[in-house]
Amino acid sequence: MKKIINRPEDVVEQMLSGIVSVHDDVVHRVGDSRVIVRNYKGEGKVGLVSGGGSGHEPSHAGFVGQGMLSAAVCGDVFTSPTVDQVYEGIKAADQGAGVFLVIKNYTGDVMNFQMAAEMATDMDDIKVDYIIVNDDIAVEDSTWTEGRRGVAGTVLVHKILGALAEQGKTLEEIKAVADVLVTRMASLGLALHPATTPQAGKPGFELAEDEIEFGIGIHGEPGYRKEKIKPSHDMAVEFYEKIKKELNLVENDRVVAFVNGMGATPLMEQYVFANDVLELLKADNVVVEKKLLGDYMTAIDMAGISLTVLKLQDNWLELLNEEAKTIAW
């Protein structure tokens, strides 16, 4: 294993110190906790909290700031943050109008965020609600998950709900949009090479040199098929056809097309894949209103890519285009 770290057991703490040192104009850390909070207060507005295991950078701390998350709670690598850490994040985000949690659908995340919400309500009289994001249509009931996993589509949820909170919408109004939003997005990912966590020191799964895995999760959870490497166009067709069926995409539908790198995928390859996807959407006369590309939710050093399509409605495009002052958006 070759990584730019000191001791594997210190990597998360030192990463968090680095984030707040480099970006002290945007965020700060709550004491010695694993909670990264925006400097902008947003007084009287709903606080928005997300988080999960570390190793997905820039998610989640990279999306803390005005117009997106109020706070992010960072667990150990690929490990859910503790109930106490999430509780600290809720308290830090509360500005008097309640706190809304964005939870990716992993068993540990769901359990710990829900327990922390109950603590904040019972002990601090903070009004808390949440949404569980399950945009990955690859598999049901995979490792650490009951139902579909939450993956890169979560970033779009952060942005849209963050814009609503910045506009002063109530907790109930944000919840109503969130409930619909998560039903109108779909994601699929693939891996060319596995991730190596600092603690393990070896790849989390095995792929032959000429092999890819479709439907892989952001922690290296199994996908739905392994096969020999194929051209980008063929991979794009497989993902697009599955997502098209899931969302029932038809002519003149308005969408966001979001190509996400997994951490070790060159931008050159991301752009090739995006070009193939956009050509497929164009051929079906689906209107792509917004395009996103880059490393938004990674899996440390996994070589791979994911595609998320959001089927737009209402004013979601305007909310996505609202200015946000964060590290990574």
Contacts 24+ apart (CB under 8 A), 113-121: 113/51, 113/86, 115/83, 115/86, 116/83, 116/84, 116/86, 116/87, 116/89, 116/90, 117/90, 119/83, 119/87, 120/87, 120/90, 120/91, 120/94
Helix/strand number for the chain, H first, E second? 8, 12
Which of 77, 90, 85 shows the shortest CA–CA distance to 130? 90
Question: Which one from 23, 60, 158, 219 is the annotated catalytic residue?
Answer: 219
Specify the DSSP element, H or E, that contains 226: strand 225-228
Q: How far is CA 162 from CA 47, 63, 79, 158, in A?
A: 9, 10, 25, 6
Q: Is 28 a catalytic residue?
A: no
Which residue matches tokens 């752009």? 271
Look up 23 and say whether it is catalytic.
no
Q: Which of 23, 56, 60, 193 is catalytic?
A: 56
In terms of Cβ atoms closer than 10 Å to its own Cβ (0-12, 13-18, 19+), residue 72 is buried
- Catalytic positions, please? 56, 219
